[in-house]
């Protein structure tokens, strides 16, 4: 046995206790970490009784180095400390026994004998702490396992739906190309225009989809609150409607120029993406004969974009879950409308990053109104959101 303790009285008492057992022999005593490591390297003891708080790195360093030099040595930690951190630190270092100073001599000898047989042993004072920590770690592991399982399921679902969404416009574009390649000389001017319109809409849809995914990736990279700057409502609406091509004819924008000059705090790229997502949803669910109406208004220091459609409306019980990922208001297996089911979820994330909000309300006469509320610029009662570094004085 190797006995290592920086307290001379304790070291001698432990050595005498070991010698009182005829089955044990003390091959060396050490007063610090380096001396304990040196003796272990030279003598290769069967058991090393190591003080946790010795000078020179303490028990953890001694345990690592002793096991490196003599892998067959059984380590027993000895300490006046019974705190959870100290116990776990020594257990991670490789000890098989842990005895608190002041424990009865019989307990110390029993721990040493158990370690010689390859059995672990902890003092009663520390067993409860360790069990509690192991239970906590097990609960964390189980929680992490559930989160990983859910993440894997969501990932698989996202890939499946995304594949469908990407193939829809791609198939239309390919169909146009094949039609022109095989029957180009036979097509009438009207047929060519119809095909061109179809491929134009498919490419616009594909571009919006890629833009949505890029926005989602950016939100994952950046902080919760994004950098913003003053921008006009007209600038955002102009950029947003430009993404819809001929479908922009279905949008009824504010007629008062003063509304378009109203200013707000926003990250232009992400704000445009939020507006596009809501407009896309409104166009998708509205009859072609009814325009999607867009209004701009100020309310309580915030600037709001109110986007109203004449779609089927949203049941009251689904107005909150509508903004969750992979959710649509139409949940039937034969739903008429496609989509990833992440558009409104992404719009809400963008609004939260702006310290704003998005909500859906029923529209008088049928349909829904989605309101995107950004921090207003004119009202000085609101603190300006975080600005990019280059705009900070």
For residue range 304-357, list pLDDT tens digits in order. Answer: 999 999 988 887 777 666 777 655 544 443 344 444 456 788 888 888 888 899
Q: What is the pLDDT of residue 131?
A: 47
Number of H helices, E strands in the chain: 11, 13
Contacts of 66 (CB under 8 A, 6+ apart): 36, 37, 40, 48, 50, 73, 75
Q: What is the pLDDT of residue 136?
A: 64
- Residue 98 pairs in a beta bridge with 77, 122
Contacts of 30 (CB under 8 A, 6+ apart): 2, 3, 4, 5, 36, 38, 39
With respect to CATH, is domain 2-122 assigned 3.40.190.10? Answer: no
Residues lower than pLDDT 70 in the chain: 81-84, 86, 118-139, 141-142, 148, 150-168, 208-209, 211-225, 319-321, 325-342, 378-393
Q: What is the pLDDT of residue 258?
A: 93
Q: What is the pLDDT of residue 194?
A: 76
Q: What is the pLDDT of residues 205-249, one digit of tens each?
A: 777 667 666 666 666 655 556 788 899 999 999 999 988 888 889
Contacts of 84 (CB under 8 A, 6+ apart): 129, 130, 132, 133
Assign 37 to helix, strand or coil.
helix
* DSSP codes, 323-334: GSTT--S--STT
Q: What is the pLDDT of residue 384?
A: 45
Class of the 144-204 domain?
mainly alpha
What is the third-level CATH fold of 225-391?
Answer: Heat Shock Protein 90 (3.30.565)
Q: Are 104 and 12 within 8 A, CB to CB?
A: no
Q: What is the pLDDT of residue 130?
A: 52
DSSP-derived pairing of the beta strands 302-308 and 368-375: antiparallel
Domain boundaries, the chain: 2-122, 144-204, 225-391
Taking the C-alpha atoms of residue 214 and residue 228, their distance in angstroms, rounded to an integer, is: 18
Taking the C-alpha atoms of residue 28 and residue 170, their distance in angstroms, rounded to an integer, is: 78
Taking the C-alpha atoms of residue 139 and residue 122, their distance in angstroms, rounded to an integer, is: 22
User: Ramachandran region of residue 229, left (φ > 0), alpha (ψ -120 to 50) or beta?
Assistant: beta
């Amino acid at each position: 046995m190797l006995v290592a303790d920086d307290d001379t009285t304790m070291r001698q008492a432990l050595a005498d206790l070991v010698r009182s057992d005829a089955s044990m022999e003390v091959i060396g005593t050490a007063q610090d970490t380096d001396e304990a490591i040196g003796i272990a390297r030279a003598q290769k003891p069967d058991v090393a009784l190591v003080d946790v708080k010795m000078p020179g790195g303490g028990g953890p360093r001694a345990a690592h180095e002793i096991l490196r030099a003599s892998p067959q040595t059984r380590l027993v930690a000895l300490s006046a400390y019974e705190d959870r951190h100290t116990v776990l630190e020594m257990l991670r270092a490789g000890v098989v026994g842990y005895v608190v100073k002041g424990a009865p001599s019989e307990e110390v000898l029993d721990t040493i004998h158990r370690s010689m047989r390859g059995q672990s042993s902890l003092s009663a004072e520390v067993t409860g702490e360790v069990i509690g920590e192991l239970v906590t770690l097990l609960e964390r592991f189980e929680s992490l396992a559930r989160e990983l399982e859910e993440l894997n399921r969501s990932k698989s679902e996202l890939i499946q739906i995304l594949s469908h969404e990407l193939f829809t416009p791609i198939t239309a574009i390919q169909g146009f190309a094949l039609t022109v390649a095989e029957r180009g000389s036979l097509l009438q001017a009207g047929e060519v225009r119809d095909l061109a319109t179809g491929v134009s809409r498919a490419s616009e849809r594909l571009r919006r989809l890629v833009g949505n995914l890029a926005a989602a990736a950016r939100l994952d990279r950046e902080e919760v609150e994004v950098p913003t700057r003053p921008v006009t409502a007209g600038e955002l609406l102009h950029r947003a409607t430009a993404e819809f091509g001929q479908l922009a004819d279905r949008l009824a924008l504010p007629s008062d120029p003063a509304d378009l000059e109203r200013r707000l705090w926003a990250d232009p790229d992400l704000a445009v993406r939020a507006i596009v997502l809501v407009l896309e949803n409104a166009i998708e669910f509205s009859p072609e004969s009814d325009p999607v109406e867009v209004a701009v208004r100020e309310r309580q220091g915030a600037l709001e974009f109110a986007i109203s459609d004449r779609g089927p409306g949203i049941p009251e019980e689904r107005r909150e879950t509508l903004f969750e990922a992979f959710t649509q208001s139409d949940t039937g297996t034969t739903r008429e409308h496609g989509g990833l089911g992440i558009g409104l979820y992404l719009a809400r994330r963008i609004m939260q990053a702006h310290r704003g909000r998005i909500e859906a309300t029923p529209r008088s006469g049928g349909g829904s109104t989605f309101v995107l509320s950004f921090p207003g610029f004119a009202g000085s009662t609101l603190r300006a959101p975080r600005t990019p570094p280059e705009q900070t004085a």
